[in-house]
Amino acid sequence: MSAPLILGLETSCDETSAALVQDGRILGHVILSQDVHRVYGGVVPELAARAHLAVVDDVVRGALEEAEVSLDQVDAIGVTAGPGLIGALLVGVCWARAAAFALGKPVLPVHHMEAHLFAPSLEDAAARPPFIALLVSGGHTLLLHARKWGDYHLLGETRDDAAGEAYDKVARILDLPYPGGPQVERLSREGNPARHPFPRPMVRGSQDPHDPNHLDVSFSGLKTAVATQVARLREEGTLDQERAHVAAGFQAAVVDTLATKTLRAVSATGCRRVLLGGGVSANQGLRSELKRRLGPEGTLLTASPRLSLDNGAMVAQAAAFHLSRGGGESEPFSADAGLSFPGLSREPAVAAGG
């Protein structure tokens, strides 16, 4: 019997994406990003929902045509049900549930951040548990220990701003265009991080595994430090000359913080396989530093930049896993902006090898 053909649909923020995935192979994939938000310097939820509604049919049709299949050949539909912008999520969920009902096929709600865990496996068969996962996006920063698919142990998380959110806020402080993360990283390559050495939040050498701050992160204070420094430079009239150096200092602080916390998780669990996922995982500085610190005995698992961003293929891959476990709509579900991460526990980290 052939593997099921899964349609994955992603509409959690400002990308409308659909993909056809079968047995871990992407047969068709369309990602349509919304440029309208550049005018406002950030995602406007109402505009995002309207944009999804306007293009979702065309995006799905494009993915089906690329895969050279028809909608009635699909065996199941996976859709991002949360977390995300509630209006945007509702567009995808309503479309998926209506299509599944009309076809008489199962529909599976997918957690957006769990989908990011599955993205690297679409390009690398070795990208499967056990691993430590660092998930970094605009809305989330999570450290997990994945012993197997569906069995995740929360090791650390952000206390306030997510890493991607901090990048976007610093981009606005530096008068850089949206989306801010890539702009800050690009500008940082032209600067010297030593000129503006910003603090590493919640990173102290005296911390031990029993310290509640040992694996958590916080970026609100770092953002404030950047804002204070930029205000001073603006008052002095030197911001234009120092902008790249400020970006470099911020980038160095975020990368050092995330890498330090991740290597602490590696030490706590004994697992030297690290999966990097989420939109910020496309940051080349973060990838390089994690790979350097893991050394030749460690393994860094990543997706290509295209699959690091929000996309339908990762949703389909996650849905395929849940379908294999008997998933499928048994009772109605809806979009949930605060959807709980499935299979996530908060047990303390213990050495487990791998």
Whether residue 68 is found in the same domain as residue 203 = no
Within-domain flag for 123:
no
Coil, helix or strand at residue 141: strand
Contacts of 292 (CB under 8 A, 6+ apart): none
Whether residue 280 is found in the same domain as residue 337 = no
Within-domain flag for 328:
yes
Tokens 């390009």 belong to: 123
Whether residue 113 is found in the same domain as residue 162 = no
Q: What is the CATH number of the domain that holds 33?
A: 3.30.420.40
Whether residue 111 is found in the same domain as residue 157 = no
Please write the tens of the pLDDT for every residue from 191-232: 999 999 999 988 876 677 777 789 999 999 999 999 999 999
Whether residue 55 is found in the same domain as residue 202 = no
Mean pLDDT, all residues of the chain: 93
Whether residue 179 is found in the same domain as residue 221 = yes
Q: How confident is the model at residue 151, as a pLDDT?
A: 97
| Residue 289: C-alpha distances to residues 74, 268, 295 (Å) | 41, 19, 10
Structural domain boundaries, residue 189: 128-302
Of 314, 298, 297, 318, the residue nearest 306 (C-alpha): 314
Instruction: Report the Cα–Cα distance between both ends of the chain, in Å, rounded.
Output: 33
Whether residue 22 is found in the same domain as residue 36 = yes
Whether residue 90 is found in the same domain as residue 149 = no
Whether residue 191 is found in the same domain as residue 285 = yes
Count of structural domains within the chain: 2
Whether residue 21 is found in the same domain as residue 71 = yes
Distance CA 308, CA 276 (A): 9
Q: What confidence tier does 352 reach under pLDDT thresholds 50, 70, 90?
A: very low
Within-domain flag for 353:
no
Please write the tens of the pLDDT for every residue from 272-300: 999 999 989 999 999 999 999 999 999 99
pTM of the model: 0.94
Whether residue 33 is found in the same domain as residue 67 = yes
Within-domain flag for 352:
no
Query: Final residue of a domain: which of 302, 321, 336?
Result: 302
Please write the tens of the pLDDT for every residue from 78-118: 999 999 999 999 999 999 999 999 999 999 999 999 999 99
Within-domain flag for 26:
yes
Distance CA 264, CA 270 (A): 10
Answer whether residue 330 shows pLDDT above 70: no
Distance CA 111, CA 122 (A): 17
Alpha helix ranges (H) inside 144-238: 163-173, 180-188, 220-236
Coil, helix or strand at residue 45: helix
Whether residue 177 is found in the same domain as residue 240 = yes
Strands (E), the chain: 5-10, 15-22, 25-33, 76-82, 107-111, 131-136, 141-148, 151-157, 273-277, 299-301, 344-345
Within-domain flag for 354:
no
Distance CA 206, CA 214 (A): 10
Query: Cα 33 from chain centroid?
Result: 15
Per-residue pLDDT averaged across 25-29, rounded?
A: 98
Burial class (CB in 10 A: 0-12, 13-18, 19+), 259: buried
